[in-house]
Structure 1
Amino acid sequence: MQTLQHLIGGVWEDSSDDAYTDVVDPATEEVVARAPAGSPDDVDRAVAAAVRAQPAWAALPVHERVARISAWADAVAEHAGELAELECREMGKPVGIGRTFVAGAAAGLKEAAGQALSYRFEDTVDGPEGSTTRILRHPLGATAVITPWNFPVAMVLGALGPLLAAGNTVVVKPSERSPLSAVRLFELLDLPPGVVNLVLGDARAGAPLAGHDRIRLVHFTGSVDAGRKVAADAGGKLHRTVLELGGKDPVVVDAGVDPKATAAAVAFGAFLNTGQICTSMERIYVHQDIADAFVDALAEAAAAYQAGDGRREDVMMGPLVDERQRAIVRRHVADAVERGAKIRAGGVEPDGKGYFYPATVLTDVDESMLVMREETFGPLAPVVVVPSFEEGLERAGRSRYGLAATVYTNDDDHVAAAARLPAGVVWVNQWQGGGPERLYEPAGDSGMGATGSTAAYDAATRPAAVHIAARPAS
């Protein structure tokens, strides 16, 4: 059984503490590795390495930094299959799906780093009486990236491009539930020692990293409760935070759309990665005119998402990450049924090993139920029938979350109205998607700090103004 190590200053090291946690394969419930639980001393050593490496990294020309990052992205793409197999082993994602996401994340890293070549790290503006002002955007220094377990590789790579290309160094702390792929990801790393460091562990590593005196920015993706703690720890040091937290994303299905095709799209948005995506479709509002046909088609589509071991190529949906997550799904279904909801598909937990739960469709739900109020992070599709598109849109906006939302409609006025949804991203007639220039900031309890495109570079740099007065005439 593998015992994992930290990567600090380019060297793989054991933890300074003797506490370890087990990494469990969620399909078999077998322990597959031991990982350090983490400690403040581990964090101190990693941050010190990042601080030491930062001046030399920032001194490299931008194009050299971009070239080094791009070469790493190419190596990741070449090992996409291997990394996907590790993700499957640690958190259950089917290998075929994981391979696609890893390859996409590698391409995204390359693209995000490449944006540094056109980003204005320096600008000059004319002032009064012949003066000029130089606007310089300096790197922040040593930064922290704390990532969740549901997309172990993609979440790390998605944060690193702008931070590294802008001249910062990074300490990465992945979730203790999915460290295997992170270790392999950094074995492929070919950057100067200390530019990227890896500290494994749970809150015993995460808390001291988020509140470390020498960390200048914390990029955190995770739960709302943990995000509040990260923001408080970093805020106490007056350090920046970029937070992408929980979601309870709605989808509004208008009259006039093809109910069967739309149901297939919604099933994909609800059940992909066993519903363990922050932007999963977790609240579905469908117009009464097509509700019967839509629900029938959604239940039929759910039956195609048979849960199984993701190492099999025919499996579309793997297990949940662990029993703790499955218990949340179980509790949401039980609460809904107790309050009057009906199960149209799934809902029966299978026997045997593995943290499996079937793709489940619920009807007759309302906002009093946990499944409509709290983030589920599981393969549930709760459906509410509404009398009009306007009511669907209004009810979709009734949430403390505001990460993303999706609308399906053929009505131009309703397309325009979709922009009113209080969410960082609104997709119309397609879940996911968006070009490289997309930028957004989550609304409500779903986070803070704009990200994407130039916003990511703005967050990764500190602007300074150098005012130069006109020389007096000789």
Structure 2
Amino acid sequence: MDHTDLYINGAWVQTDTRFDVINPATETVLASVASAELEHADAALDAAEAAMADWAKRTPRERSEVLRRAWELMTARLDHFAHLITLENGKAGADARGEATYAAEFFRWFAEEAVRADGMITHAPSSGARIMVQHKPAGLAVLITPWNYPAAMGTRKIAPALAAGCAVIIKPASETPLTMLALMPLLAEAGVPPGLVNVLPSKRTGALVDHMLHDPRVRVVSFTGSTGVGRTLLKGAADQVLKPAMELGGNAPVLVFDDADMDTAIEGTMLAKMRNLGEACTAANRIYVHADIAPEFTARLTAAMSALKLGDGTDPSVDVGPLVNAATRDKVAAFVADAVAKGAKVECGGVVPEGTGYFYPPTVLSNVPENADCVQDEIFGPVAAIQTFSDQEDVIARANNTEYGLVAYVFSGDFKRALQVCERLDYGMVGLNRGLVSDPAAPFGGTKQSGLGREGGHEGMLEFMETQYISASW
């Protein structure tokens, strides 16, 4: 690997302590990566503070052109980033290229948004004063990204922060730091000045992040990951009243009504379930199918899942790669065993294959009971858990019966009924007759304990800005 050290102030920094990054398909060491300590965090904060002083003064168009160039450069190198994603994350080649394309698109979208931080001037009705409103860079941002999307979860935060005029320090997941490190030379080539973007892989995540959150120069913390870790970060952020942007866990329901187009429902469910091997907060977790069509739906979903080829994602013919590590694989296996013990039926898959790699086969479970662990928690793996319903009110209540509210999916041929159902689902996003909701142009985020704030869309840039109001008379 070309880049395995810390990236601070535009330079590669070696450390005495390092950790291994494992290829989940072969269980071999991909690289030894530098592990940041507190002094490295301080150096990154110093560099970010100095870089932001100039960057925040640049015109929106100047910032826009740098981001546009980053999109052009990354788009020209999609194969390189896709291969790296496959090596450290495990996802199959087509899925990895899809992530790389999606990741690059955030640079293009926020290149366009950088010039649209619009304010306003109005006339106060009672006082007669003018109300002038503008948006200003919020300050240094600490970005904490997960392992399931090594490229996209970083660019989804870096691009809006830079568009807003902020400098950032990124702490990538220890399982998958290589993709984010590989992005740094590209950003430098695009014109990102030294110190504006710093990357600190580390095995001391808790201490490192807490140290940065208590530095008075930090004003924003953006995190994607589990709700449990999000709660901890919010407690740390409270000490300095930092601006939080939290994209947390999910427990996505899929509602398939009896009037749904079966081809659309199967295609959409497959996409919602198997994108990134189910290792996504947006992954379909509870699949509610109307009892009248459940036998056909189950048979067709089972056939589609059974047709997927399992193997090392570097093989172009492979559809499904390994899970990211042994703990994730074992958790998925435990979910299946629990569901079966409580009465679920295995329609396909369900057995950990022998040999090297953290593989788990595409699996369909039918007759899954409400008390199964996989219904209560995120599966984060390639297991489709099917339940049935007959009453619309009942399925809406079941779908909403969770502390999470990230995304839901609805399949119905009656557009009026479908929209009525969507509006009653307590989720920040709903896929209507679609299994994919993620889009750089859309506000991504959830309700309840699935997070705070939004990423993408116009709202994504505002997460890194503060609103200033000036009262004036003339």
| Same fold, judged at TM 0.5 (above) | yes
CA gap 1:290/1:417 in 2 versus in 1, 3 angstroms = same
CA gap 1:39/1:469 in 2 versus in 1, 3 angstroms = same
Q: Counterpart amino acid of 2:8?
A: I
Q: Counterpart amino acid of 1:54?
A: M
Q: CA RMSD in A?
A: 1.7
Show the counterpart of 2:122: 125
Contact 1:263–1:295 (Cα < 8 Å) also in 2: no
CA gap 1:207/1:325 in 2 versus in 1, 3 angstroms = farther
The more displaced of 140-149 and 267-276 is 267-276
Contact 1:2–1:32 (Cα < 8 Å) also in 2: no
3-state SS in 2 of match to 1:117 = coil
Query: In structure 2, how many angstroms separate the alpha carbons of the residues matched to 1:300 and 1:129?
Result: 69
Show the counterpart of 2:269: 266
Q: Does 1:306 align with 2:303?
A: no
Picking from 143, 154, 157, the partner of 2:155 is: 157
Picking from 446, 451, 456, the partner of 2:460 is: 456
CA gap 1:22/1:3 in 2 versus in 1, 3 angstroms = farther
Picking from 407, 432, 438, the partner of 1:428 is: 432
Unaligned 5+ segments in structure 1 are: none
Picking from 359, 377, 381, the partner of 2:380 is: 377
1:282 CA drift (Å): 0.8
CA gap 1:113/1:210 in 2 versus in 1, 3 angstroms = farther
The more displaced of 350-359 and 157-166 is 157-166
1:132 CA drift (Å): 2.1
Aligned runs of 1:347-426 on 2, under 5 Å?
347-411=350-414, 412-426=416-430
Instruction: Give deviations 1:10-68, integer Å, cap 9, x for gaps.
Output: 111113xx332210000000011112232211111111110111110011111001101
Q: Counterpart amino acid of 1:219?
A: S
Contact 1:143–1:169 (Cα < 8 Å) also in 2: yes
The more displaced of 443-452 and 327-336 is 443-452
Q: Counterpart amino acid of 2:377?
A: E
Query: In structure 2, how many angstroms separate the alpha carbons of the residues matched to 1:330 and 1:440?
Result: 30
3-state SS in 2 of match to 1:238 = coil
Contact 1:2–1:34 (Cα < 8 Å) also in 2: no
Instruction: Give deviations 1:112-162, integer Å, cap 9, x for gaps.
Output: 231121221x43222356532322221112111110011110111111222
1:376 CA drift (Å): 1.3
Show the counterpart of 1:327: 330
Show the counterpart of 1:4: 4
Query: In structure 2, how many angstroms separate the alpha carbons of the residues matched to 1:145 and 1:44?
Result: 15
Query: In structure 2, how many angstroms separate the alpha carbons of the residues matched to 1:285 and 1:4?
Result: 45
Picking from 427, 441, 446, the partner of 1:442 is: 446
3-state SS in 2 of match to 1:33 = strand
Query: In structure 1, how many angstroms separate the alpha carbons of the residues matched to 2:85 and 2:287?
Result: 29
Query: In structure 2, how many angstroms separate the alpha carbons of the residues matched to 1:209 and 1:376?
Result: 32
Query: In structure 2, how many angstroms separate the alpha carbons of the residues matched to 1:44 and 1:85?
Result: 33
Contact 2:157–2:455 (Cα < 8 Å) also in 1: no
Q: Does 1:175 align with 2:195?
A: no
| Identity score, percent | 33
CA gap 1:446/1:129 in 2 versus in 1, 3 angstroms = closer
3-state SS in 2 of match to 1:234 = helix
3-state SS in 2 of match to 1:321 = coil
1:186 CA drift (Å): 0.9
3-state SS in 1 of match to 2:20 = strand
Q: Counterpart amino acid of 1:469?
A: S
Query: In structure 2, how many angstroms separate the alpha carbons of the residues matched to 1:353 and 1:413?
Result: 48
Show the counterpart of 1:32: 30
Query: In structure 1, how many angstroms separate the alpha carbons of the residues matched to 2:213 and 2:87?
Result: 28
Give the TM-score of the pair, scaled to structure 1. 0.95
Contact 1:3–1:34 (Cα < 8 Å) also in 2: no
Aligned length: 467
1:261 CA drift (Å): 4.4
Contact 1:40–1:205 (Cα < 8 Å) also in 2: yes
Query: In structure 1, how many angstroms separate the alpha carbons of the residues matched to 2:345 and 2:213?
Result: 43
Aligned runs of 1:138-149 on 2, under 5 Å?
138-149=136-147
Query: In structure 2, how many angstroms separate the alpha carbons of the residues matched to 1:316 and 1:434?
Result: 21
